Amino acid sequence: MRTPTAAERRSQLRHELRAEAYAEMERLLAASSSQAGVPRALSLDRKTVRRWIPGRGPPRWKKPERPTVLDPYRDHLEQRWREGCRNSAELARELQRQGITVHSHVVREWGTRRRREGADRLDLDRLRPGCRWRPPSTDRTARLLQSDVDTLGDKDRRFVDRLREAVPDLSNVVDLVGRLNSLLRRQSTESLAAWFVGAAATPSARFAANFHRDIDALAAAIDTPWTISPVESQISRLQMIKRTIYRRAGFDLLRECVMASR
């Protein structure tokens, strides 16, 4: 049994409220022969009460199903659906290959209604907690590739292994990034020159060539203990001072404020 959607839950709640009002209307009519006080007691419009009295319950306003161009081919669609084909575009192409004129959006609407009618075994298998795994996004894939394999779950590890096996160039780039990360963290004895030589044989050769322009700064980052944190702190301090004067300060006024704040 599938879980109802939010719209279906709201519709069911409104119907239950109408059913309660209808039951109360019947009780009031049974206790009194007058219909005049019923709308006031139930806070309903008189036209609504007059419309409900001859009926057998509150209306559901369910639209009757209309015939569609897919009716003659429902058996084929249902069979393909049970076989696991949930691609509306592919189902539409199958019908078109049989000489049937049908647009893909019509089949897509049929597929949407079919899903709402109820989940079958294939859908239930996909919804089970143990089987719930979706291909990661581009950003998440990048994070997985840069993560330590020992920290990944079984499914993520298998995904990374198969991805690297399927795309050797990507695997080489991942190894290259890992080596650079170890260099910057001072966890590797490899020389920076050896890293650039290895990078020249990978798809990241252009990136490495641009990176080589700042080789002095890169070498300093590896060999010296200094960082840009003090500079960033001073920039943040300047921004805070400028915000306190509503970003209206020119250089001279900002300089005076900085000197006065020391």
Last residue of a domain, one of 85, 102, 130: 130
Q: Which residue has the higher pLDDT, 58 or 31?
A: 31
Number of neighbouring beta carbons within 10 Å of residue 200: 13
Residue 58 within any structural domain of the chain: no
Residue 186 within any structural domain of the chain: yes
Instruction: Determine if residue 68 is left, alpha or beta; phi over 0 gives left, psi from -120 to 50 gives alpha, anything else beta.
Output: beta
Total domains present in the chain: 4
Residue 246 within any structural domain of the chain: yes
Q: What pLDDT is attached to residue 101? A: 85
Residue 62 within any structural domain of the chain: no
Q: What pLDDT is attached to residue 9? A: 79
| Summary mean pLDDT of the chain | 80
pLDDT digits (tens, 9 = 90+) for 121-177: 555 555 455 445 677 888 988 888 888 888 888 888 888 898 888 888 888 888 888
Which is nearest to 39 in space by CA: 54, 58, 47?
Answer: 47
Residue 65 within any structural domain of the chain: no
> Tokens for 202?
């990978």
Residue 125 within any structural domain of the chain: yes
List the domain range (segments joined by +) for residue 202.
138-223
How confident is residue 225, by pLDDT bands cut at 50, 70 and 90? confident
CB 95 within 8 A of CB 75: no
Q: What pLDDT is attached to residue 204? A: 84
Last residue of a domain, one of 113, 130, 147: 130
Among 97-106, 122-131, 253-262, the least confident range? 122-131
